[in-house]
Amino acid sequence: MLGGGFAHVLSGGTVLHAFWAVLVGIVIGALPGLTATMGVALLTTLTFSMGPNVAMLVLVCVYVGAIYGGSRSAILLNIPGTPASAASTLDGYPLARQGLAGRAMGISTLGSWIGTLFGTLILALFAPSFGEFALRFGSYEMFWVAMFGIVIAGSLSGGDPLKGYIAGFIGLLIATVGQEPNHAYPRFAFGSTDLAGGFGLLPVLVGVFGVAEVISAMRGPAVQAVSSAIDSVIPRLSDVARYWRTILRSGSIGTFIGAMPGLGEDIAAWTSYAAAKRASAERDKFGKGSVEGLMAAETGESACVPGAIIPVLTLAVPGSAPAAVLMAAMMIHGLNPGPMLAITAPEFIYQIVAMLVIADMVKLFYGLVLVRPLLWVLLIPRARLIPIVFVLCTVGAFAITSRLFDIWVMLGAGLLGFVLRSLAFPMAPLVLGIVLGDLLDKNLLRGLVLSGGDISPFFTRPISLVLCGLTVLAVLWSIPGLMDRLRGRPPMRA
């Protein structure tokens, strides 16, 4: 089936799309203020007239490219191009300041390439069997999957679980606007036919990630590249031989965190970096230009990309924000991710594997040849770039249904996202709430209809019980000091 997946993706010149899409992704990721989520959302607009196969290849390539591209500005500007690359600044920028910007970019390319390959291998090995297991999930279990996603994203994604939960429930509320699934009653429509149709997923996501980031990008002074002189970017195989344990560990951590609903690449990078520092014999070099530290962060964040696609394909639950937009794009193109994929289109999982491998190879190619042009791109004044991005956001929001209402939704979501960001509310749970709201709503009501109003199946079916227990544990874990008290230790002071 894997061979069939490659043959399908490589047929008819489709693969050529990978070259421009990865390039667009790298440029978007490299530019501070533009993120992978925004890139995937904007490019979704361009894929409307494409077939599903080409469209998915383009979007996977943009996703893979953007996560990698963020390291360019992290190394050269000390500003992460995407939040996922924040951990890369710790050692990437010090290396660049030592005159080793090329070496740092080589390590970043190598780590990112291996990371995505590692994660893709895990996806190919486990997603099909997990997809078959997910067929046992009914409405009760899917309700808990959605709830667990909100809770785990709220607990871990922003450092303040309380604000994470609030963001998640705001997202869930946004998703309730429009006709509900059982009686087609228009909730919160106030007589408006536009509101009765609900908020489109893409306009909201473009608003939260595009418009809010565009406004935020005008914050602070303009940045300067550390140097225009770049040494050799050719990666050294000796680095792989020397740090193979770090690579394996970071790849595993990155993929696992990717597969957890709503966590994403930044947490994968930070966790991989922290784990590498703890286990390293040269931990005193971390933060001062450590090759191992940079390798760990890059491998972790890039392994997270395929990891985040695993729950999309098997449960219809995104593992990260870009994966959420990717999932929305799959739905737009008539591909229905989730448990039924194992029955309706089992070959699609292997096509995604092939797309990830192709994207990874093209990324490696650009990583080796595309150094100086990217330096020029990084120096484009933001006052000239940002309005163009805003125009693309507007087009992206409008294009799906050709309604001006969607532009207003984008604008409203953007301003809401900007205000929430300014108040330090994390965006990941908000997005997950918006994406999972429909899943939660449908399955809760469907479950209640099936049981005749009895809520006990939500707690007594074996898989439901496990998922319910995990959700409760995640909430308890996030209460400051509670776990210490349960373990009999005095709570740590904040």
Partner 1 sequence: MSSSGGGQAGASPRADLLAAILLFTFGVAVVALALRMPTFAEQSGTGLTAPGIVPGFHGVVLALLAMMLGVRALRRGAARAGRAPSMAADAGALLLAAGLGTLYAAGLVGRLPFWLATALFVFAFTAAFEWGNGPRGRLRRLIEAAAIALGTGIVVTLVFEKLFLVRLP
Residue 407 φ/ψ, nearest 5 degrees: -70, -40
Smaller CB separation from partner 1, 182 or 232: 182
Cβ atoms 49, 55 nearer than 8 A = no
Tell me the C-alpha distance between 44 and 58, whole Å: 9
Task: Give me the helix-helix angle, 321-332 and 427-450, nearest 10°.
Answer: 50
In the complex, what is the shortest distance from the CB of residue 88 to partner 1, in angstroms, rounded to a whole number? Answer: 12
Based on C-alpha coordinates, what's the Rg of the chain? 22
Cβ atoms 64, 247 nearer than 8 A = no
DSSP helix/strand/coil, 178: strand
In the complex, what is the shortest distance from the CB of residue 408 to partner 1, in angstroms, rounded to a whole number? Answer: 6
Smaller CB separation from partner 1, 362 or 431: 431
In the complex, what is the shortest distance from the CB of residue 482 to partner 1, in angstroms, rounded to a whole number? Answer: 14
Smaller CB separation from partner 1, 453 or 490: 453
Smaller CB separation from partner 1, 123 or 321: 321
Residue with tokens 């998640």, as numbered in its chain:
168
In the complex, what is the shortest distance from the CB of residue 89 to partner 1, in angstroms, rounded to a whole number? Answer: 12
* DSSP symbols for 393-407: HHHHHHHTT--HHHH
Q: Which structure tokens are listed for 347?
A: 């070959």
In the complex, what is the shortest distance from the CB of residue 80 to partner 1, in angstroms, rounded to a whole number? Answer: 9
Surface-to-core class of residue 360, CB atoms within 10 Å of its CB (0-12 exposed, 13-18 middle, 19+ buried)? buried
Smaller CB separation from partner 1, 101 or 413: 413
Please name the amino acid found at residue 491: P
User: Which DSSP symbol is given to 318?
Assistant: -
In the complex, what is the shortest distance from the CB of residue 240 to partner 1, in angstroms, rounded to a whole number? Answer: 24
DSSP helix/strand/coil, 200: coil
In the complex, what is the shortest distance from the CB of residue 295 to partner 1, in angstroms, rounded to a whole number? Answer: 18
Smaller CB separation from partner 1, 127 or 308: 308
Smaller CB separation from partner 1, 84 or 335: 84
